[in-house]
Amino acid sequence: MEDEALKRSVAKDIVLLKYVGICPVVVHGGGPEINQWLDKLGIESSFVEGQRVTTPQAMEVIEMVLTGKVNKSLVHYINLEGGRAVGLSGKDAGLIQAKRYEKKDLGLVGEITRINPEILIQLEQNGYIPVISTVGYHPDGTSLNINADVAAAQIAIALKAEKLIMLSNVEGILDTNKSIIKQIVASEIKHHIEVGTISGGMIPKVNSALSAIEGGVRQVHVISGDTPHSILLELFTDVGIGSMIKAS
């Protein structure tokens, strides 16, 4: 969502959800902006299986960009549309607790150990819209880089959310004919990964979706963030515009 009009469109959708009695919680990353600032500062960045290897120098920039730039931009747009957005990072009120990723040495990449949703519940009960940048913290005070899809799934579980909506740069989960799979049962996902229908960057996204389903979230929607009012079109039309993953 690098286009200003799309940002306004998404912000308006979020505010409308709040007006009709739905309690949205926004969780975001910021890959393109992080890449731009790392390049500007001459800090090299590499990826292993889709995850950014995060040095202490890179982590400093990531935290600055996510919490100081991207987060406040989203808060600004939601407030412009009449919402009451409050920006948070995972470090605020102990929201996202994490340890270093153990399977591979990825530097300061975090693996979530606990979500403390108390601050989110209090904000929602008082009419605010939480906007969360995915910087977690280690008990020793170290900031850790958390994958946004993983964080969103774990926050959805902790809040006992009805739905998790993933805004992506693709239209949804595609079949072998590149057509959108409108509905898919969670148990079918592994088969689609095995046969290659789901591949590349969509695999970690659907794995996060499966984690959410297994944790009690009833439905996960994967939709394009490039389509104006995609959230409303997905939730309030008969066929939607993306892919819906459901438990059964």
pLDDT one digit per residue (tens) for the chain, 248 residues = 677 888 899 999 999 999 999 999 999 998 889 999 999 999 988 888 667 889 999 999 999 999 999 999 999 999 999 999 999 999 999 999 999 988 888 899 999 999 999 999 999 999 999 999 999 999 999 999 999 999 999 999 999 999 999 998 888 888 878 889 999 998 888 888 888 888 777 888 899 999 999 999 999 999 998 888 999 999 999 889 999 999 87
Q: Which two tokens stand for residue 226?
A: 């490039």
On whether the CB atoms of residues 73 and 227 are closer than 8 A, the answer is: no
**Cross-strand bridge partners of residue 97:** 114, 137
Residue 218 C-beta-side C-alpha neighbours within 13 Å: 3
Q: CA–CA separation, 38 vs 60, rounded Å?
A: 10
Q: What is the pLDDT of residue 241?
A: 92
Q: CA–CA separation, 149 vs 195, rounded Å?
A: 23
On whether the CB atoms of residues 81 and 15 are closer than 8 A, the answer is: yes
SS3 label, residue 161: coil
> How much is the pTM?
0.93
Cα angle at 125 between 122 and 129, to 5 degrees?
A: 85
CB atoms within 10 A of CB 14: 23
Q: CA–CA separation, 166 vs 179, rounded Å?
A: 18
Q: What is the pLDDT of residue 20?
A: 94
CA distances from 151 to 41, 191, 224 (A): 27, 25, 19
Q: What is the pLDDT of residue 45?
A: 82
Helical ranges in 159-223 per DSSP H: 186-194, 202-214
Pairing state between β 46-48 and 96-100: unpaired
Single-letter code of the amino acid located at 141: G
Q: What is the pLDDT of residue 1?
A: 63
On whether the CB atoms of residues 178 and 197 are closer than 8 A, the answer is: no
Q: What is the pLDDT of residue 133?
A: 97
